[in-house]
A and B are shown apart, each in its own frame.
Chain A
């Protein structure tokens, strides 16, 4: 069975640990310069930002991206297709406090994220603003 990355999104949104919250997609992390870096999914809870990098199988790349997200959000997760979990080195995710979600028919927490101590206030503020802009645009279009 060949699963595409975007096919995981629906399950994460509907059944994941943040299903009660609004999600924002492909959020840019900075306007310091022309930046191509985007976080796949971002959600807000109180004043905290949660970033999720979604990958079907390439957990090593998702780890790098999730690590980089630690500078822009409060909690950083990766979400992967459930078959990928046994192949992953979960200790390294734990070492950096990166959470892990397994996606199948449901989205389950394998490892909870810890609060990032690397978050840069300015970057977080920018990500938050990008979410707000997306929210306004969605309201206008609906």
Chain B
């Protein structure tokens, strides 16, 4: 069964998840979110009782991001990762020379950074829990509660053109992390690659071969701002190729930011994908923060997020099935309440996504056939092509799978 990892970003999403009716999923949260909402995230993890991963978000210390030091979590993470002593006081990034020596070997600073990042992921939630449980009463509180992440992510940095030194840093970080594993702990690598080099198969092969590391337990792949919905056929094919190359190492592979297309790649070697609740299926690592201002609704027939205000016109024009799940039935009552609309649309999305994953697990080909039929029906009904941007991806996805079937 493809695995769903839900990325939690804000407090209200944590509450939605607490009372949603879905079951098979894990949680992933940035360390920045843990630093921003420590208590809420910890109590949510306690209430939900699902496996979790803390994304250490270390790439932000690899390049200059405007105004990042003004974020409240920034100095906290600097301290937690022991970077106060590594990053010069007038900078926000780690100088390469602090991580690699002149012979391109790992420095002591690199090893201590890796250790700190691992210790943080291992203990941060437990530490918050211990702190709050000492003074507060809350649901699920117990003296013997222990938290440990599903896996630990080795520190990672962005790989673009001419990133040879950063590849070395990433590999040294992974090797150090593997050597510091405790008990049955699992260590995963994050491969963050620029979308621009996705299509250069020789570069991809060159990068991938470095990641065949003894003791590594799996991979998270992050292609910068790779949007499955708008990606061209060739880009999707290049992504599949990358997954197939990586799957030769016979370890689990997750798409760090993916959606339905990634789950469909279960047959090609993808174990699962991470996304937020009805958004966050692609991410540009150079952009930090930003909130979802619009209410978006997941239209199951066309597998697309559509603006809330367009639900009626799109469903009417394309003759799509109107969902009558418990959340959709409540939507008309939320006419003047954007917060409630977001909550209901979010819960509806989770319900649909878990349904899709089950369907993919049962018969991927049936899902693809359904997509093909739905594309043809939508195209026929959309006589003025007013809504093609909402269902056009179905044609591309089906085509990509057809292409691969011929190979």
Q: Which residues of A contact B (CB under 8 A)?
A: 29-30, 32-35, 37, 60, 63-64, 67-68, 71, 92, 95-96, 118, 120, 122
CA of A68 to CA of B389 in the docked complex: distance in angstroms? 14
Chain B nearest Cβ from A93, distance in angstroms: 9
A131 to chain B, nearest CB (A): 18
A64 to B385, Cβ gap below 8 A?
A: yes
Contacts of B338 in A (CB 8 A): 33
Q: Do B313 and A34 touch (CB < 8 A)?
A: no
Which B residues touch A120, using CB under 8 A? 312-313
Q: Which residues of A contact B386 (CB under 8 A)?
A: 63-64, 67-68
The closest CB in chain A to the CB of B311 belongs to A32
- Given the interface pairs A32-B295, A34-B294, the reply to whether A96 lies near B383 with Cβ below 8 Å is yes
Residue of B nearest to A65 (CB): B386
Complex interface residues of chain B between 273 and 323 (CB less than 8 A to chain A): 293-295, 307-310, 312-313, 316-317
* CA–CA, A60 and B384, complex, Å: 8
B341 within 8 Å of A by Cβ? yes
CB nearest to A37 among chain B residues = B309
Residue A33 contacts which of B309, B316, B383, B385 (CB distance < 8 angstroms)? B309
Are A63 and B384 also in contact (CB < 8 A) when A33-B294, A71-B313 are?
A: yes
Interface residues on B, range: 10 to 19
**Closest beta carbon of chain B to A142's beta carbon, Å:** 32
B312 contacts across to A, CB distance below 8 A: 71, 120
B383 and A29: CB pair below 8 A? no
Which residues from B are CB-within-8-Å of A122?
335
Q: How far is the CB of B380 from chain A (nearest CB, A)?
A: 14
B384 with A35: CB separation less than 8 A: no
CA distance A35 to B310 in the complex (A): 10
Closest residue of chain B to A118 (Cβ to Cβ) is: B316
Residues of B within 8 A of A29 (CB): 309
CB contacts (< 8 Å) of B383 on chain A: these are 92, 95-96
Q: Given A71-B312, A71-B313, A120-B312: A33 and B384 within 8 A (CB)?
A: no
Contact status A67-B316, CB under 8 Å: no
Task: Kindly list chain A residues whose C-beta atoms are within 8 Å of the C-beta of B341.
Answer: 32-33
Between A and B, 28 residue pairs with Cβ closer than 8 Å are A30-B309, A32-B308, A32-B341, A33-B294, A33-B295, A33-B308, A33-B341, A34-B293, A35-B307, A35-B309, A37-B309, A60-B385, A63-B386, A64-B384, A64-B385, A64-B386, A67-B317, A67-B384, A67-B386, A71-B312, A71-B316, A92-B384, A95-B383, A96-B383, A96-B384, A118-B313, A120-B312, A122-B335
Given known contacts A33-B307, A33-B308, is B294 in contact with A68 (CB within 8 Å)?
A: no
Q: Using Cβ atoms and an 8 Å threshold, which residues of chain B touch A96?
A: 383-384
- For residues 229 through 286 of chain B, which have their beta carbon under 8 Å from a beta carbon of chain A? none
Return chain B residues, CB-CB under 8 Å to A71. Answer: 312-313, 316
Residues of B within 8 A of A63 (CB): 384, 386
A101 to B332, CA, bound (A): 37
Tell me, in angstroms, the Cα distance from A63 to B384 when the chains sit together: 7
Distance between Cα atoms of A64 and B386 in the complex (Å) = 5
CA distance in complex: A122, B384 (Å): 24
Q: How far is the CA of A60 from the CA of B302 in the complex (A)?
A: 23
Q: Which 4 A-B pairs have the closest CB atoms?
A: A64-B386, A32-B309, A33-B295, A30-B309
Contact with A along B337-360 (1 / 0, CB 8 A): 010010000000000000000000
Report the minimum CB–CB distance from B236 to chain A (whole Å). Answer: 26
Distance of A33 Cα from B294 Cα, bound (Å): 6
Name the B residues within 8 Å of A32 (CB-CB): 295, 308-309, 335, 341
B126-150 CB contacts (< 8 Å) to partner A = none
Please report the C-alpha to C-alpha distance between residue A13 and residue B86 in the assembled complex, in whole angstroms.
67
